[in-house]
Structure 1
Amino acid sequence: MELFRLTATEASELMRRRELSPVDLLESVIARTEATEPAINAVTEQWIDEARSAAAASEARFAGGEALRPLEGIPLMLKDEHPIAGRLLEDGCLLERGNTADETHPIVERIQAAGAVVHGRTTTPEYCCAPVTHTKLWGVTRNPWNPDFTPGGSSGGSGAVLAAGSTLLATGSDIGGSIRIPASFCGVVGFKPPFARVPGMAPFNSDTYCADGPMGRSVADVAMLQNVISGPWVGDAASLREIATVSGVAGPLDGLRVALCLDLGGYDVDPVVEANTRAVGAALVAAGATVDLVELPWGPERTAETAWPHFGAVMGPFIESIAEGDAARAEQLMPYTRAFAAQAAAGGDYVEGLVAESAFYRPFAELMIDYDVLVCPTVATTGLAADEPCTDSAAIFSQLMTLPFNVIGRVPVLAVPSGRAPNGVPTGVQIVGRSYDDATVFRVGAALEQELALWTDPAWWPAM
């Protein structure tokens, strides 16, 4: 197997046994990035010299018997949204070209302190407000499985580099599905932590829809990164003091109860997505779980009606402030950004929205009295075009089965692959836990990963 196809967990074990050099591993992913980037366009910048120095330092730690850090020697790329003091922070927007960050995101500080070899940054849609990844600033990011299709968004670049083999771990963030949509379309694993589990920066650290989280090529990889980035931070009053360690170790699911919901109350799910979701249910039964088909009274219309007042109070005004009321500045924004802001402005009364969110949560909470996790598709469709305009919010929202779990943002959601569609694009499912029960979704994800044996097979990944 090529070194760039190792999981982070495998690479860490090999390095700790002195059977793999972090320098050789980094050179493998650098070469892979060089080979795939012209086609995928998922990397905004690379820090090769700094990464080589970091990899050499890790190699010296291994050789010298020094204390090893949790991510020692593991190549990792950061979603470009995560700021680093003194580095570019352009948010995929022409209006931000050349802008630099004044401070570093806490998860970046933790990743660096944990010994990861950070070697690049990954593309996003403008201001992370679309489920596709193309901008006037960076161009179109494409899916390694089929370049006619998008890797998703807004963490599309992170999903794409993981699938292509250009890195072993990546960061993402999720306010409406931005980790889970790319995880589905790219055939990788992503975790939307419950609100406040991972610290964030103002103003979105106080947004219950929003979470920064890990992405990787296995459940254990994602657990490894999640354990590094979670926990309280002095700059985030919302961050939880409780430390919730998670594990990607697979085991039987005897006695565990799974609610399997195919359409969340009215999403138009593609037959291939449904078939792959049912196969996941069968695999969970084989792993020892009890699986029941259930219904939820949500659907895309109710979800959108519940979410738009929230976006109108938080994300919409943020985007409006960028244009500064200047028509010429607004014209430089992406059409999907302008469409999102316009829809958010008409979102409705915020207080009524909060009441609607509570009513939205109730049937889920009642269902989960009898079940340990809910499993459902991640995206209803089998793919979106790489340059999909995404200006019709209703049409797009009707395909994204991720948003309900931002509305009830205190639930943990692990996104894993479920199979592939005839167009080559992977499909995925979400494993949703009770509020703040992170450990159970990882337990189910690890067992499913072992039982399905899809993305653990080296033949799973796109050849490119």
Structure 2
Amino acid sequence: MVDRREFLRISGHLAGTAMLTGTALRAHAAADPSYLSATALVAQFRRGQLSPVDVLDAQIRRIETLNDKVNCITVKHYEDARAAAHDAAARYRRGNARPLEGLTVAVKDEYAVNGWRTTMGSTLLKDVPPAQDDGPIAARLRAAGAIFHIQTTVPEFYVWMTTATRLWGVTRNPWNLAYTPGGSSGGSGAALAAGFTTLALGSDMGGSIRVPASQCGLYGFKPPFGRIPTSEVPYETDGPMARTFDDMNLLTDVMVGPHPLVHSSVRPRLRYPARYESVSGWKVAYDPMPHMTALDPTVTRAMAQAIAALRQAGVTVDTVDVGFNADDLDTYMAGLMSTSMGGMMTEAMKHPEQLMPYTRAVFEKMQGKAGPEALVHTEELLNEYQRRVQETVFLKGYRALLTPTLGTPLVPAEHGMQPDIDSAKIGDQQVTGLKFALTWVWNMLGLYPVVSVPAGLGPGHMPIGMQIIANTLDDLTAFQLASAYSRAASPLYVGNRLPDFRNEQV
């Protein structure tokens, strides 16, 4: 990952085929190895029924056919990927395959990969020197046999929940091109939804894994701070994204663990088992977070269906109100910008004319608000929210907390591109800014593990997501519940529940 100090170091380089649609796309995808799960692919690779080269070639064909519609890739790294796929095929033949052998992983334009540029979605960084080494996660995944074939789009400096920049253009959602795949890991989410990759990397400092997971019908994990070696900013973390729970679980198990160069990384290493026990008899709380945002009626219905699936698995679900409030977002943002994120903000604001409207609006709003006092206020809010979560949920005997991920899935792809285009639709109302997201509290409360799971499809064929939160550092409880949910709920990416690249405003 390129951290904020790295941004300050490189800031001296700042710069003054035929289309298928609808039913045909779904039928094509159903027979395409591009959409096979990682766990299924590994099994077929081991049996010699399929080769990593076959899957990579199929995904490249999809990219070349469909990415003009989606626009989720910054740079393609096909030559190196093909060499890695041939090496992976040879390892399977020799019987010495590694955990992620031959699986493609889309890399968010934030991770440091040897020889790759990290632009952070900004024209200010389009000519920065490439990385000289793999960062901790890239090195760990490469050693596990992963294949890096594409770099994926992000909003400028990762500060927005849609993915549109002057440098790379507008990234669109394969489920419905009129809407965003989310942000800031929107390119990774779109790549998974489009069948361009088997696994993907994201990062999260306000919902940047969970929002795209919700928008793209994926499983995404915001680990507790330190579980994955990321940075020293306590509000952010790297994390995995995938189309199935088992794939997310597999990728997580490779990503986690202490790293000698990342002081915050937690010891000892946690192992994520391939299978989890039943959750029958559990008590779980559900907070619709009414003081954060209104919920689109389709989100309310999707949450009811997701809760019903858990009840069928033997889980008792009670409604609670922790008391999270949307007005506290500014306090969190001021605290975030009082970390090394603030150094990036200061440097970027030397070139305000080159910033995206949403970037400039966020940074201008934070001018004069960051600093020691802001950190004090954020810490006070954190302590208050911690007390409420414990007293309302975990001290009452609940094993986990459920919340929606977003108030609405209907966020236009161009949201934030212009100063007057920053609204989303909730029911019959238009809401502005980013307060429709129910994610940022778990970045401030950074030690809570959060899994975002798909809760169903809403209007416009757009996915809806649900967050599963376990107690601090209790990842395996969140994963156990998410695993049970994934087996009880109706899955996406099967039958007619596939992206069809429609373009319809609801």
Same fold per superposition (TM over 0.5): yes
CA gap 1:122/1:419 in 2 versus in 1, 3 angstroms: same
Structure 1: stretches of 5+ with no match in the other structure: none
Shift of 1:343: 2.1
Bigger shift: 281-290 or 239-248?
A: 239-248
Partner of 1:69: 98
Q: What per-residue deviation string (whole Å, max 9, x for no partner) do you get for residues 408-438 of structure 1? A: 0100000011011111111000001100111
Partner of 1:360: 385
Give, in whole Å, the separation in 2 of the partners of 1:372 and 1:261: 14
Helix, strand or coil at the partner of 2:432: helix
1:335 aligns with 2:360: no
Shift of 1:54: 0.7
CA contact (8 A) 1:308 1:343 kept: no
Q: What per-residue deviation string (whole Å, max 9, x for no partner) do you get for residues 59-107 of structure 1? A: 1111122x22110011111001111233212111111112122442210
CA gap 1:320/1:382 in 2 versus in 1, 3 angstroms: closer
Shift of 1:170: 0.4
Shift of 1:33: 1.0
1:246 aligns with 2:269: no
Bigger shift: 450-459 or 53-62?
A: 450-459
CA contact (8 A) 1:220 1:247 kept: no
Partner of 2:346: 321
Helix, strand or coil at the partner of 1:423: helix
What TM-score comes out, normalization by structure 1 length? 0.94
CA contact (8 A) 2:161 2:434 kept: no
Of the candidates 436, 449, 457, which is equivalent to residue 420 of structure 1? 457
Helix, strand or coil at the partner of 1:397: coil
Shift of 1:19: 1.7
Q: What per-residue deviation string (whole Å, max 9, x for no partner) do you get for residues 322-375 of structure 1? A: 23x63xx22101111111112223546221221221112111122212111101
1:231 aligns with 2:253: no
CA contact (8 A) 1:14 1:20 kept: yes
1:288 aligns with 2:318: no
% identity of equivalent residues: 37
Of the candidates 59, 69, 72, which is equivalent to residue 89 of structure 2? 59
Partner of 1:96: 125
CA gap 1:306/1:357 in 2 versus in 1, 3 angstroms: farther
1:452 aligns with 2:470: no
CA contact (8 A) 1:198 1:229 kept: yes
Alignment of 1:264-275 (within 5 A): 265-275=291-301
What TM-score comes out, normalization by structure 2 length? 0.87
Give, in whole Å, the separation in 2 of the partners of 1:255 and 1:261: 20
For this pair of structures, how many residues does the alignment match?
A: 455
Give, in whole Å, the separation in 1 of the partners of 2:296 and 2:40: 35
CA RMSD for the aligned pairs?
1.7
Of the candidates 347, 359, 372, which is equivalent to residue 399 of structure 2? 372
Shift of 1:320: 2.8
CA contact (8 A) 1:264 1:401 kept: no
Helix, strand or coil at the partner of 1:118: strand
Q: What per-residue deviation string (whole Å, max 9, x for no partner) do you get for residues 177-209 of structure 1? A: 000000000111110000000001xxxx12221
Structure 2: stretches of 5+ with no match in the other structure: 1-30, 424-430, 502-506
Give, in whole Å, the separation in 1 of the partners of 2:344 and 2:94: 50
Of the candidates 193, 197, 201, which is equivalent to residue 171 of structure 1? 201
